[in-house]
């Protein structure tokens, strides 16, 4: 467990490994992914940046290169199994045979109450948030476990994986599935030279949430990006950025019934609603 004054609370046994040299990041064109890329950039590192928007990736690439790191741009579409499989093959090739850190950050939110949700939108959400990371892991982990120096998988989940998130039920479910997958793989691969980490940010002010109206305090994406970089270095099982988020996680874990009741009372104030411009 990390010191209380750190921005990221880590749980579980931290792993130890060499300083990463090749880091692959999905969803690196904007938001948390772009900020994490900048936080991780350093001389001697090679960052492989992946997302749909080539223009956004090029902006991140320029910011990464300013910090002395090498950056490769890979435009990909993770919204289908075929796309995720192609992305996995492309990233392994771009990494040049050495994949030190695989940072799976790409994701989306349906932003709708369940009864108002379109099934196609829910399936897209599940694909991007859970099935595509799973597909990439299935393709890349066999390579990572055979590397002499192993590797590190970092998945960006959500605090919603640990607690109810009315108005975003399918999003919470997709992130809970991702959390369960990584926790299970961490145990399954405990004797292999690969560490697995899940970072669980709370509400964050990014492009994905810019049309939301809520009284929830939002973290800056730069804060979450820095927390991810810290998790890459320390290799915890779970990292929750922000003291208030860690307190919320503990409350919902220890008093689930009471927490659900309280959330129901304050939901109209804190649950994000979409404001259409």
- The domain ranges of the chain are 8-274
The conformational region for residue 13 under phi > 0 = left, psi -120 to 50 = alpha, else beta, is: beta
- 216 or 38, greater pLDDT: 38
**pLDDT above 70 (res 244):** yes
**pLDDT above 50 (res 4):** no
- 26 or 254, greater pLDDT: 26
CA distances for 63 relative to 24, 40, 41, angstroms: 16, 11, 9
Share of the chain above pLDDT 90, in %: 64
**pLDDT above 90 (res 12):** no
CB count, 10 Å around CB of 256? Answer: 13
**What pLDDT, on a 0 to 100 scale, did the predictor assign at position 27?**
96
Interval 185-194: pLDDT, tens? 999 999 999 9
**What pLDDT, on a 0 to 100 scale, did the predictor assign at position 140?**
97
**What pLDDT, on a 0 to 100 scale, did the predictor assign at position 170?**
94
Q: Which of 15, 61, 60, 64 is nearest to 40 (CA)?
A: 64
Diameter of the chain measured on Cα atoms: 53
Place of tokens 């790409």: 106
Interval 48-61: pLDDT, tens? 999 999 999 999 99
Residue 9: pLDDT band (50, 70, 90) is: very low
**What pLDDT, on a 0 to 100 scale, did the predictor assign at position 243?**
86
- Average confidence (pLDDT) over 138-160: 95
**pLDDT above 60 (res 209):** no
Interval 13-25: pLDDT, tens? 455 555 679 999 9
**pLDDT above 80 (res 205):** no
CA distances for 274 relative to 111, 177, 214, 248, angstroms: 7, 25, 9, 23
**What pLDDT, on a 0 to 100 scale, did the predictor assign at position 172?**
93
Residue 267: pLDDT band (50, 70, 90) is: low
Q: What is the mean pLDDT of the chain?
A: 86
Domain 8-274: state its class.
alpha beta
- 159 or 3, greater pLDDT: 159
Beta partners for residue 219, in sequence order:
204
Range with the poorest average pLDDT among 72-76, 158-162, 169-173, 262-266: 262-266
CA distances for 250 relative to 168, 254, 256, angstroms: 21, 6, 10
Residue 174 CA, distance from chain mean position: 12
Place of tokens 């741009």: 73
């Amino acid at each position: 467990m990390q010191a209380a004054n750190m921005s990221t609370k880590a749980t579980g046994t931290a792993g130890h490994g060499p300083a990463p040299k090749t880091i692959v990041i999905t969803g690196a064109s904007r938001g948390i992914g772009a900020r994490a890329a900048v936080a991780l950039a350093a001389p001697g590192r090679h960052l492989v940046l992946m997302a749909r928007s080539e223009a956004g990736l090029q902006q991140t690439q320029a910011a990464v290169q300013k910090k002395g790191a090498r950056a490769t741009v890979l435009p990909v579409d993770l919204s289908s199994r075929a796309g995720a499989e192609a992305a996995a093959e492309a990233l392994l090739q771009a990494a040049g045979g050495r994949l030190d850190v695989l940072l799976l950050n790409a994701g989306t939110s349906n932003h709708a109450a369940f009864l108002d949700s379109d099934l196609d939108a829910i399936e897209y959400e599940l694909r991007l948030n859970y099935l595509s990371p799973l597909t990439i892991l299935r393709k890349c982990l066999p390579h990572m476990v055979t590397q002499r120096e192993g590797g590190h998988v970092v998945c960006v989940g959500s605090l919603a994986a640990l607690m109810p998130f009315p108005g975003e039920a399918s999003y919470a479910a997709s992130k809970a599935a991702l959390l369960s997958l990584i926790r299970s793989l961490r145990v399954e691969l405990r004797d292999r030279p690969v560490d697995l980490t899940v970072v669980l940010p709370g509400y964050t002010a990014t492009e994905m949430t810019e049309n939301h109206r809520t009284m929830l305090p939002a973290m800056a994406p730069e804060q979450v990006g820095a927390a991810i970089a810290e998790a890459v270095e320390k290799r915890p099982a779970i990292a929750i950025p922000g003291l208030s988020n860690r307190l919320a996680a503990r409350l919902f874990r220890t008093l689930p019934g009471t927490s659900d009741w309280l959330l129901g009372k304050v939901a109209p104030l804190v649950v994000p609603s979409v404001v259409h411009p």
